[in-house]
Amino acid sequence: NDNNNWLIYDVDVLGVSIVQTYRSQFGDILANQGFDALLQKLESIAIE
């Protein structure tokens, strides 16, 4: 709760955390393709 506004940090559905899922996906891209590829992926998602 921030200034009487609720902020969502993570959602856990049936034991699957969105933050952990993204962390895993980002880690895979970093390990296999590098930082530039991760940044490009994030930018393309933000545009959509």
Query: pLDDT of 2-15, one tens digit each?
Result: 677 888 889 999 99
**Model pLDDT, residue 1:** 55
Examine residue 5 and state whether it is found in any structural domain, yes or no. no
Q: Is residue 3 part of a domain?
A: no
φ and ψ of 13, to 5 deg = -120, 115
Whole-number pLDDT of residue 3: 75
Average pLDDT, the chain: 89
Evaluate whether residue 19 is within a structural domain: yes
**Structural domain range at position 24:** 15-47
User: For the whole model, what pTM was predicted?
Assistant: 0.62
| 8 within some domain | no
Query: What does the pLDDT average to over 22-34?
Result: 94
- 1 vs 10 pLDDT, higher one: 10
Instruction: Give how many domains the chain has, as a whole number.
Output: 1
Q: What is the pLDDT of residue 8?
A: 82
CA–CA gap between residue 4 and residue 45 (Å, rounded): 29
Q: Exposure of 38 by Cβ count < 10 A (0-12 exposed, 13-18 middle, 19+ buried)?
A: middle
SS3 content of the chain, % helix, strand, coil (to 5): 60, 10, 25
